[in-house]
Homo-oligomer: A and B are copies of this chain.
Amino acid sequence: VSQRDQQGAPREERGQPRPFEPFPVLSSERIYDSPWCGLRRDWLDLGDSGDEPQEYHVFEIGDAVSVLPLLEDGSILLIGQYRHPTGQTRWELPAGRIGEGEAPELAARRELLEETGHAAARLLPLPGFYPTGGISAHYAHCFCAVGCVREAELSLEPSERIIVQTFRADDVAAMLAAGDIVDAFALIPLLYYLHFGARLLEADAEGA
């Protein structure tokens, strides 16, 4: 029996590739530790493919959430946020680190409230992602926040500079097409919603 079905790629490969055997870690060196981030250097045994142990830097940072807030009329909230590493202010989604022991859904509701002053009727899970999988296991959980309503003022850290703005979905689509949105934590949920959002909201309406 062939492993290929009649639809193209082999069935098992459409989901995930057959996993490679991990490289054994010979030793691991702490370079930096802080409450915000860590950095380590692992030495890998490459086996047959390398004679010498290979150094591999791994950046450590807590997992995060990103939230796409929808109002009842289908419009989308974006935040204009200043980012020190680039010195730029760009349109993004509310996002941030998950607290110690905090569930991703709670972190999503907290960030939504802090950074936009809004609360959601329901959170729908969106696919998550690894922003920099080549150098970090840092993972982002994503949610679509449905039925958002204004509940409070923004509650920002002293280093956060944020404004909130409501956009028509069509305007967000035009901004995505033009490449105006450049932050991965905004791009991935927004592009996913742009293409699959109708399906997502339909499933939500059937379940609600």
Contact = CB atoms under 8 A, between A and B. Distances in A.
Place the interface of chain A in its size category: 35 or more
A37 B183 contact: no
Given A22-B82, A37-B57, A176-B195, 16 more contacts: A9-B166, A9-B167, A14-B180, A15-B178, A16-B90, A18-B89, A19-B88, A32-B39, A36-B57, A44-B84, A46-B158, A95-B134, A129-B184, A131-B131, A131-B184, A191-B192
Interface string A171-194: 100111111111111011001101
A76 to B, nearest CB: 10
A43 to B, nearest CB: 11
B135 A37 contact: yes
Nearest to A142: B179
B14 A184 contact: no
Contact of A14 (B126, B132, B135, B171): B171
Interface stretch (A48-56, A99-107, A108-116, A146-154): A48-56
Contacts of A166: 9
A91 B17 contact: yes
Contact of A159 (B17, B54, B89): B54
B83 A133 contact: yes
29 contacts: A13-B80, A14-B171, A17-B80, A17-B89, A17-B90, A17-B165, A18-B163, A19-B89, A20-B80, A20-B161, A23-B84, A32-B39, A37-B59, A44-B159, A46-B159, A49-B158, A56-B159, A83-B133, A85-B133, A85-B136, A129-B182, A130-B184, A131-B132, A132-B132, A134-B185, A176-B195, A177-B199, A187-B188, A194-B195
A39 to B, nearest CB: 6
Interface in A17-76: 17-20, 22-23, 31-32, 34, 36-37, 39, 42, 44, 46, 49-50, 54, 56-59, 61
B132 A138 contact: yes
A7 B44 contact: no
